[in-house]
Amino acid sequence: MIDLRSDTLTKPTPAMLDAMMSAEVGDDVFGEDPTINTLERKCAELFGMDAAIYCPSGTMTNQIGIRVLSNPYEEVICYEGAHIYKYEGGGVAGNSGLSFKLLKGDRGRLSLDEIMGSINPDDVHFPKSAIIELENTVNKGGGCFYKMEDIKSISEFGRKNDLKLHLDGARLFNALVETGDDPKAYGQCFDTISICLSKGLGAPVGSVLLGSQAYIKQARRVRKHFGGGMRQAGYLAAACIYALDHHVERLKEDHARAKTVGDALEELSFVESVLPVDTNIVIFKLAVNRTSDEFMNRLEEAGIKAVPFGPKEIRFVTHLDFDDDMLEETISILKHLK
């Protein structure tokens, strides 16, 4: 089976497992796991931010980030397909007591104009506009990424208008290897940043939330409330350190393979359109008379797993465990599908 459902499906490589097995560990709730402390420092330094906290998932780092930046009854401005809105089980409402202002964006990339037009007046009828949340790369937008100049202008506007900024950077490294942007520029633009090590970077578990000393101190309290305080999790953090040291540059290979799959799909009669392939995500729309459900069945019978992404849309994600042989086989299977 060729599994293109997600870049979370990868298994640790032998070298990553070696790094995990030899990790020095301690109780992280007491702040005594040296490997977690190293990971947190390494991430904070990379983005030029004060501090960082290791958590079990990207959902948790997003939820904690939003929580420490807000007060109940306020509003978060984000893309209508944002992970924090669509794929976190409604957590923002329950965990932080917030409502959403949902914007369309360009494939989910919000423009400054759209954001400016979405700020509520200072009037008791309206929830207070409190947080601008951006996602980079944008999952629902087919893995597209922002230009740094656009992020900078959104950040400047936010800071002038007493809005906090959170970045869902689950796939930020996919954007960074394409743009060549300095991670520290991101650190300057946002109050909190969530990065996932368990997506394209190939670690088995974990995400990191970055921010100021004060926010991360508060984040440690909230992580405890959420039940996310782990003990000798340095074994997992060792995999994350290994991933940061060895698996960032190779993301370009995933992008090249995704592009090849996207180009092949363009030629097929059962495909109506393919979103531009900018990183490791390929989203395509099926032709008339086709539905994702029936197509998914035939795809799976032919040996490829994918995710339905709408009534006529399918998503493929390339990753560390999808190599050139699998790429060749994928193209051949797709060409022979009826």
Ligand X SMILES: *Cc1c(COP(=O)(O)O)cnc(C)c1O
**Binding footprint of ligand X on the chain (CB under 6 A):** 57-59, 62, 83, 135, 139, 168, 170, 196, 198-199, 207
By C-beta, is 57 or 279 nearer to ligand X? 57
How far are the Cα atoms of 91, 130, 131, 251 from residue 103, in angstroms, in the given order?
19, 15, 13, 29
By C-beta, is 129 or 198 nearer to ligand X? 198
Q: How far is the CB of 7 from ligand X (least distance, A)?
A: 8
By C-beta, is 183 or 334 nearer to ligand X? 183
By C-beta, is 155 or 198 nearer to ligand X? 198
Strand-strand pairing, 75-79 and 2-3: unpaired
Q: How far is the CB of 92 from ligand X (least distance, A)?
A: 12
Q: How far is the CB of 57 from ligand X (least distance, A)?
A: 3
> Minimal CB distance to ligand X: which residue?
58
Amino acid at 286: L
Which of 9, 68, 16 minimizes the C-alpha distance to 210? 68
Q: How far is the CB of 198 from ligand X (least distance, A)?
A: 6
Bridge partners, 106 (sequence order): 109
Is residue 44 within 8 Å of 51, Cβ to Cβ?
Answer: yes
Q: How far is CA 262 from the centre of its chain?
A: 21
Is residue 250 within 8 Å of 77, Cβ to Cβ?
Answer: no
Backbone phi, psi, residue 133, to 5°:
-115, 125
By C-beta, is 40 or 135 nearer to ligand X? 135
By C-beta, is 143 or 234 nearer to ligand X? 143
Q: How far is the CB of 302 from ligand X (least distance, A)?
A: 26
User: Which residues, at least 6 apart from 320, have a Cβ–Cβ distance to it below 8 Å?
Assistant: 7, 10, 13, 200, 202, 247, 250, 254
Q: How far is the CB of 59 from ligand X (least distance, A)?
A: 3
Is residue 238 within 8 Å of 20, Cβ to Cβ?
Answer: yes
